[in-house]
Amino acid sequence: MFKFPWARTWPEITDERVLAAFAAVPREEFVPDHLRQWADRDAPLPIGEGQTISQPFVVALMTQALALKPGDKVLEIGVGSGFQTAILCEITAEEGETSGHTVYGVERFATLAERAEKTLHRLGYYPHLRVGDGAAGWPEAAPFDGIILSAAPAWLPRPLWEQLAEGGRLVAPIGPTSYEQILWVIRKEGGRMRPRSLGPVRFVPLVSPLLNDPAQRISHISG
């Protein structure tokens, strides 16, 4: 099975469970066949539909910031290849339960969602997947202990904040263009935001008709 030996050289990643998840998930299974030889690079790669599989280090940083325990319920917006989803399945896995039973993922492109689902099932991961606009979240399954956005909106979608559990963490790149995004981790404490910046990042945009409605946006990240 494919490993990331160099993951040990990421000084920011100190959570052993995150490193163990990276050792367990074969990234080459999530990239197109002709790019498999590049799967061990710490870099994003194209996966079709103009989208990319995220850089492993960024996936690790976001996963660590989510601070998930086994059995926690987590929602991912922008499943893409399914690699981050598989990492979430590993991190939340409980003994004796189907891997992924507390993981929910939304993807805009049906083509990508279908391919991701096939790959995930082949590897023994069974998260709940849906095709649609992830900015609306997954209200029937809320509240979530963690919510992660793998694509960047210009504003935080209000439904996602509302679907975050008290004490939960939301990890999201937010910003108007790919040059002005900040990676935020926002804790919900007493219903209020406790935000922390993890620095500038570059993600593909979150494409969401829902966010055309100003009432669905939270335009200011503040405590």
Question: Which residues participate in catalysis according to the annotation?
Answer: 54
Q: Is the CB of 2 or the CB of 167 nearer to ligand SAH?
A: 2
Residues 109-138 that bind ligand SAH (CB under 6 A): 109, 112, 133-135
Q: Which residues contact 223 (CB under 8 A, 6 or more apart)?
A: 192, 193, 194, 195
Residue number with CB closer to ligand SAH (56 or 168): 56
Q: State which H helix or E strand residue 217 sits in.
A: strand 217-218
Interface pick for ligand SAH out of 54, 99, 102, 119 (rule CB under 6 A): 54
Q: How many CB atoms lie within 10 A of CB 54?
A: 25
Q: Is 100 in the site for ligand SAH (CB under 6 A)?
A: no
User: Which residue among 53, 88, 93, 147 contacts ligand SAH (CB under 6 A)?
Assistant: 53
Which of 27, 86, 102, 108 touches ligand SAH by CB under 6 A?
108
Query: Rounded CA gap, 142 and 127, in Å?
Result: 15
Q: Which helix (H) or strand (E) holds 186?
A: strand 181-189
* Complex with ligand SAH: residue 78 or 127, whichever CB lies closer: 78
Sheet order of strands, 103-107 included: 128-131, 103-107, 74-77, 144-149, 164-174, 181-189, 192-201
**Stretch near ligand SAH under the rule CB under 6 A, chosen from 101-109, 164-172, 173-181, 191-199:** 101-109
User: Which residue among 18, 27, 51, 169 contacts ligand SAH (CB under 6 A)?
Assistant: 51
Q: How far is the CB of 150 from ligand SAH (least distance, A)?
A: 4
Cα 176 versus chain centre, distance:
19
84 near ligand SAH (CB under 6 A): yes
Distance, CA of 110 to CA of 32 (rounded, Å): 16
